[in-house]
Structure 1
């Protein structure tokens, strides 16, 4: 193999150094700063994106906590309204119940008065019937009819 001959080794090393230098200065040297700038730009962009994401997450967390606070406040307000509505309904129910009780009491009093009047009327009629019956009995037994005022007094005394 010719590349391993000692006589050809030094010139090959010389040409290798020249080609390496040409490649280094023609390709690598101009490319490295561009590559560095691209890497720096990407790093800056990634860092900025991470900062933006952190800010967005913080804002989303604030919005979520504000939303939760709003929901909690709305729930508290709704509970308070429900309690107030229940209290109002209870008061209205008590007022209607009191009104109904008053109407029932008036009707009951009127019915009791009617019953008392009917009882009194019935008792008066019973006294009259009893007085007539007593007069008829006395007349059959004695043959003479007693005075109606006496039979009414006797019936009243016996019933009363």
Structure 2
């Protein structure tokens, strides 16, 4: 292999090594500033994006806090309206119950008056029946029939 023959080719290999090293060095020197600029631009872009993201997060957090406050206010307002509606419904129910109770009391009074009238009528009929029965008994025992007024008086005192 000719490249391992140091007697003939060593000097030419050294020259070619220096030429290729110089070309590589020039290419690297030309590429490094552009690479640095690209890296710096990328770093600036990432930094800018992070700042934008932080601002967006702060805005989103503020919006979330405002939304939560709005929801809480709406819930409080709904609770207040619900409490007010319950209070109105309870008052309306109390009023209807009062009307119903008044109507029931009136019906109960009327029923009690009817019952008293029926009781009085029944008592007078019972007195009449008791007076007749007492007159019949006295007549059978004594042979003499008492007067209707006396029999009625005696039955009334016995029933009272």
Give the TM bin, normalised by the shorter chain. 0.7 to 0.9
CA–CA separation in structure 2 for the residues paired with 1:19 and 1:156: 151
CA–CA separation in structure 2 for the residues paired with 1:19 and 1:115: 133
Who is 1:80 aligned against? Answer: 80
Deviations 1:80-114 (A, max 9, x none): 23322322222222222222211211111111111
Q: If the length of structure 1 is used for normalisation, what is the TM-score?
A: 0.80
Who is 1:110 aligned against? Answer: 110
CA–CA separation in structure 1 for the residues paired with 2:16 and 2:124: 155
Listed as ranges, the gaps of 5+ residues in structure 2 are none
> Residues 118-133 of structure 1 correspond to what in structure 2 (within 5 A)?
118-133=118-133
Who is 1:24 aligned against? Answer: 25
CA–CA separation in structure 2 for the residues paired with 1:153 and 1:14: 164
Q: Secondary structure at the match of 2:155?
A: helix
Q: Spell out structure 1 runs of 4+ moving beyond 3 A.
A: 11-23
Who is 1:147 aligned against? Answer: 147
Moved more, 74-83 or 35-44: 74-83
Deviations 1:19-46 (A, max 9, x none): 5444433x12322222122112111111
Deviations 1:99-144 (A, max 9, x none): 2211211111111111111110011011111111122222223323
Q: If the length of structure 2 is used for normalisation, what is the TM-score?
A: 0.80
CA–CA separation in structure 1 for the residues paired with 2:30 and 2:87: 85
User: How many residues are matched?
Assistant: 156
CA–CA separation in structure 1 for the residues paired with 2:5 and 2:142: 182
